[in-house]
Amino acid sequence: MKTIAELAALREAMQPKMAVRRGLALIEKDGYRRHVLICAGTGCTSSKSLKIAENLENALKAQGLENDVQIVKTGCFGLCAVGPIMIVYPEGTFYSSVQPEDVDEIVETHLKNDKIVDRLVYTDEHTNRQPGESIALADTTFYKNQHRVALRNCGF
């Protein structure tokens, strides 16, 4: 158990990371310019999300990007039907149905060259996303009318 003061200090210490994930900062003080969140909930884990994280770590090292991109394994985002899910911050690009073999393309195209991998960006019949545009998790049909309470910080 932590005291109120310890929780306040932890909250303050996490603000640089949160600023990157909210798109308010382009780089955090420890040098990460991007955060890649990978769902590690049971549904995504059974669909190889941990292998995706492993492949991502290896690909980042191979490209010399391990100090630029932080990998974060998260709990369930709630949209298990389109998992494994990966979200790239600060822009909040929401990739769905990611497979381990997609990692090299994501690293080369998005993380190294700042271009979205269109074929992996989540979309549905109600999403007005143009090719090359990012879509945030909160802007999807599934999430946009939800008021998240207990999980409001999931993915942050």
pLDDT tens digits, one per residue of 8-33:
888 888 887 777 766 665 665 667 88
Based on its alpha-carbon atoms, the radius of gyration of the chain, rounded to whole angstroms, reads: 16
Q: What end-to-end distance do the CA atoms of the chain give, in Å?
A: 22
Q: Is the pLDDT of residue 53 over 60?
A: yes
Lowest mean pLDDT among 37-46, 58-67, 76-85, 102-111: 76-85
- The pTM of the full predicted model, rounded to 2 decimals, is 0.80
CATH-assigned architecture of domain 33-144: 3-Layer(aba) Sandwich (3.40)
pLDDT for position 90: 86
Q: Is the pLDDT of residue 104 over 90?
A: yes
What's the CA gap between 63 and 74, in Å, rounded?
Answer: 24
Q: Is the pLDDT of residue 127 over 80?
A: no
Return the residue matching tokens 């074929």.
119
Q: Which residue has the higher pLDDT, 80 or 140?
A: 80
Phi and psi at 69, nearest 5°, equal -125, 125
Percent over 70 (pLDDT), the chain: 85
- Contact between 74 and 37 (Cβ < 8 Å): yes
- Contact between 53 and 19 (Cβ < 8 Å): no
